[in-house]
Amino acid sequence: MVTPNGEGDRTAAVVGLQFGDEGKGKITDYLSGSYDVVVRFNGGTNAGHTVVTDDGTFKFHLLPSGSLRTSYVVLGSGMVIDPISLIPEIEIVKKVNPALRIIVSRNAHVVTKMHRQLDVEEEKIRSSLMIGTTAQGIGPTYEDKYARTGIRMGDITNFNVVKEKIETMYRMHSNLLSGTEFSDPEKRNEMAQALYDAGLKIKEYLDYTEMAIDRLYSQGKRILFEGAQGVLLDPDFGFYPFVTSSNTISASIYTGTGFSLRKVNRIIGVAKAYVSKVGEGPFPTEITDDLAKQLRDLGGEYGTTTGRPRRVGWLDLPMLRYAVRIDDVDELAITKVDTLGMLDRVKVCKQYLLDGKPIDYVPRDMETIKKIEPVYEEFDGWGSISDSISGRKISIDQLPPKLVKYIKFIEDQLGKSVGIISMGKERNRTVRIIK
């Protein structure tokens, strides 16, 4: 049940329902004012979240988006962390929220410059199966984690341990790294020193976060979990191999933090009013004509991490229905409704046809998904949305009637309520819908 202030229960999670880039950061920031703790449980610098406030524009890559308003933030053990990149993020956030307590998992794995190079080299080998990786070293870091040769955050306060592990990693990957700067022992030594120096700066934040979260929960703190990426990028449930390297679904809260999913009272699934995607892979509702550029420019659809233009397409309800089920979503948050509304006509994919016949599932093998034919429902655009409703709790009937029709169609198709809508990047242009 939603609490009287309409901002969720004692524990809640914000997760993405598409290909990432849904606007989770803004929703997390909006909700975080009602929570004491914000926890991130997966991914690394490949996930970028942008938050716009009166204090400026903040682009988060490692710290949770709720860092600006909450009292504690936690980087869980399911993450992979570049400690050198983390330091300036901490410095920026501390200027806005000086009382913020930061807790970083000792067991989270460390992203190094060598991992970034491996990301590039591995992408070359994939050739026609190129993923379109962000080249942030995320995949190779998870590879080393599961090969049991990785560096953990708790290691980087000991120079000898860091140096030994870097040498082991180099030997494991020497066939890919032999022609790069990392074949030079001195470069590897410099990297070890830089990681050690960073480790000394963040030593005060390191803890066993599964214990820290449990302590905070036992103290009665309200906790919000922030996911990175989206369901369709999950390596088990997304469009493999065009996926990320960590599990992105709500269940990975448990594996990424040690906090039981059974204790999470509410799961809020975030979807854009249309769909955007960075990287390669199937995209059944993709728009590829001049309308794509128009929508991309209206929505500022360029990656937070890479700056790459995002692919865009119509809202895909079969995919969304699948994601809602996988994430066991209680409530929907729909972002960028102002952007989509500026189009004269809006389409929504309500069903797939395969070989001319309706199907009630989302195929995830590459040959089948290429044969999918989307069936669309069309709506009139609803134009601009008055700023007078921004930052308020309103009745759905206070929205433009054409937008209400669009929202109710989504609710009817998915069997879930839309509780939040968002317009643009500014924090105050977020609306809680009371029904």
Active site residues: 21, 49
DSSP bridge pairs for 311:
277
**Residue 211's closest CA among 331, 103, 131?**
103
For the chain, state the CA radius of gyration. 22
**Residue 61's closest CA among 32, 81, 33?**
81
Which positions ≥6 away from 289 have C-beta within 8 Å?
A: none
**Residue 237's closest CA among 1, 17, 7, 6?**
17
Give dist(CA 255, CA 258) in Å, integer: 6
**Residue 276's closest CA among 253, 292, 291?**
292
Which positions ≥6 away from 54 have C-beta within 8 Å?
A: none
Give dist(CA 395, CA 428) in Å, integer: 17
Q: Give me the sign of the Cα torsion angle 377, 379, 384, 387.
A: negative
DSSP bridge pairs for 277:
311
**How many residues in the chain?**
435
Specify burial of residue 31 (Cβ count, 10 A radius: 0-12, 13-18, 19+).
Answer: buried
First to last CA, the chain: 13
Question: Is the peptide bond preceding residue 241 cis, with omega within 30 degrees of 0?
Answer: yes
Structure tokens at 29: 């920031």
Measured at the CA of 47, the angle between CA 82 and CA 40, to 5 degrees, comes to 75
Instruction: Answer yes or no: are the C-beta atoms of 2 and 39 closer than 8 Å.
Output: no
Give dist(CA 309, CA 293) in Å, integer: 9
